[in-house]
Amino acid sequence: MTDMPQIYLVTPPEIDAGFGDRLARLLDRTGIACLRLDLASRDEDRVTRAADLCRDVAHRFDVPLVVTDHVALVDKLGLDGVHLTDPRPIRKLRADWGPDPILGAFCGVSRHEGMNAGEAGADYVSFGPVGATTLGTGERAEPELFAWWSEMIELPVVAEGALTPDMVEALAGVTDFIALGEEVWSADDPAARLAELTAFFRA
């Protein structure tokens, strides 16, 4: 793993007409390793239009775009891969797709699920939420999980969920990617907020 993590950007759960311009301004100012389209909507037309918009902007900046869970859109829309919140389909997808599309797996706080996803062919696993939240079970992915993973497992790991600048700094040496979404987009100036959150390892 590299000395400092790379930035993995997650879209907000809703995208308006001006999002493409905001995304382009952010990508123009900050190096991003990957963009994930993660909409709350399950309306096919809305997700498709959002994917087209994000793909055009991301690819303009040579940033790969993955979509959360919507496997069928990857080939249809020329996306770069999928981020699965349920890792069970990974083995079949890897067999069907071959090595090229990105296959990511969210594994919550489970070391066991992460190892299973890696053995099934995932390109990365993500653990979270890292920060305090009342959503879901409230269980958190502790720094010890990332420290163990980075020492024992070669597969890249992503830290995500309710991150603060202090948490980003604490995890900088034990994760390959820091995933930031609502932490960035809720700010009036997303690019400035992203710079603030990642100031420690971008100095």
pLDDT (tens digit per residue) in 137-195 = 779 999 999 999 999 999 999 999 999 999 999 999 999 999 999 999 999 999 999 99
Q: What's the rounded Cα separation, in Å, for the pair 90 and 26?
A: 31
Reported confidence tier of residue 203, pLDDT bands at 50, 70, 90: low
Per-domain residue ranges for the chain?
6-202
Q: Assess whether pLDDT exceeds 60 at residue 2.
A: no
pLDDT (tens digit per residue) in 47-103 = 999 999 999 999 999 999 999 999 999 999 999 999 999 999 999 999 999 999 999
Q: What's the rounded Cα separation, in Å, for the pair 149 and 39?
A: 29
> How is domain 6-202 classified at the architecture level of CATH?
Alpha-Beta Barrel (3.20)
Reported confidence tier of residue 200, pLDDT bands at 50, 70, 90: confident
pLDDT on residue 138:
78
Q: Assess whether pLDDT exceeds 60 at residue 1.
A: no
Which 8-state DSSP code applies to residue 182? H
Q: Assess whether pLDDT exceeds 90 at residue 3.
A: no
